[in-house]
Chain A
Amino acid sequence: MVFTAVVVFLGGSLWTIAHSFTSSRLLPKWKFVGFDQYERLWSTRRWMISIENLALFGVFSLVFTLVIGFTLAALLDRKIRFENTFRTILLYPFALSFIVTGLTWQWILNPDFGLQAVVRGWGFENFAFDPLNNPDLVMFGLLIAGLWQGTGLIMVILLAGMRGIDEDIWKAARVDGIGTVKTYIRVIIPMMRPVFVTALVLIAAGIIKLYDLVVAQTSGGPGIASEVPAKYVMDYMFGAQNLGQGFAASTMMLVSVVVILIPWAYLEFGGKKRG
Chain B
Amino acid sequence: MKIITKLMSATALLAASSLAAEDLEVTHWWTSGGEAAAVKKVAEAFNAGTDHTWIDGAIAGGGGTSIPAIISRIIGGEPMGATQLNHGRQAQELIEAGLMTDLTELAEAQGWRDIINPISLLDSCTVDGRVYCVPMNIHSAQWLWVSHGAFETAGLPVPTNWDEFVAGSAQLKEAGIVPLAMGQQGWQQSIAFGALVLGIVGVDSFLEVTANKNADEAASEAWTRAFVAVAEARELARDSNVQDWNLATNMVIQDTAGGQIMGDWAQGEFQVAGEIAGKDYSCLPGMGFNEILDTGGDAFYFPVIDNPSVKAAQMELASLLISKEMQVDFNLAKGSLPVRGDIDLSAANACMQKGLQILADGGIMPSNRQTFDADTDQQINDLMSEFWATDMSAADAQAAYVSIIKNAN
Residues of A within 8 A of B (CB): 25-27, 40, 44-46, 111, 133, 135, 219-225, 234-236, 238-242, 245
Contact = CB atoms under 8 A, between A and B. Distances in A.
Given A26-B94, A135-B389, A241-B375, 8 more contacts: A25-B93, A26-B92, A44-B382, A219-B185, A224-B382, A236-B378, A240-B375, A241-B374
Nearest to B93: A26
B118 to A, nearest CB: 26
A142 to B, nearest CB: 16
A221 B375 CA distance: 20
Q: Which 8 A-B pairs have the closest CB atoms?
A: A223-B389, A238-B68, A240-B378, A26-B93, A222-B389, A241-B374, A242-B375, A240-B375
Contact of B75 (A25, A27, A224): A27
Given A25-B375, A40-B407, A219-B185, A46 B386 contact: yes
Interface string B52-78: 000000000000100110011001000
30 contacts: A26-B71, A26-B92, A27-B97, A45-B382, A45-B386, A111-B241, A219-B185, A220-B385, A221-B385, A223-B184, A223-B385, A223-B386, A223-B387, A223-B390, A224-B382, A224-B389, A225-B389, A225-B390, A235-B378, A236-B375, A236-B378, A238-B67, A238-B68, A238-B72, A239-B64, A239-B378, A241-B374, A242-B374, A242-B375, A245-B375
B101 interface: no
B388 interface: yes
Contacts of A238: 67-68, 71-72
Contacts of A234: 68
B212 interface: no
Nearest to A138: B389
Contacts of A26: 71, 75, 92-94, 374
Nearest to B75: A27
Contacts of A46: 382, 386
Interface of B: 64, 67-68, 71-72, 75, 90, 92-94, 97, 184-185, 241, 243, 373-375, 377-379, 382, 385-390, 400, 407
B101 to A, nearest CB: 18
Nearest to A236: B378
Nearest to B396: A45
B248 to A, nearest CB: 14
A198 B94 CA distance: 44
A111 B101 CA distance: 49
B137 to A, nearest CB: 23
A224 B385 contact: yes
Given A27-B75, A239-B64, A222 B184 contact: yes
A241 B93 contact: yes
Contacts of B93: 25-27, 241
A240 B184 contact: no
B39 to A, nearest CB: 23
Contacts of B90: 241
A61 B335 CA distance: 47
Contact of B67 (A219, A224, A239, A242): A239
A11 B209 CA distance: 42
Contacts of A236: 375, 378
Contacts of B375: 25, 236, 240-242, 245
A207 to B, nearest CB: 23
A44 B404 CA distance: 10
Nearest to A29: B93
A223 B241 contact: no
Contacts of A219: 185, 243
A104 B92 CA distance: 39
B71 A133 contact: no
Contacts of A222: 184, 241, 389
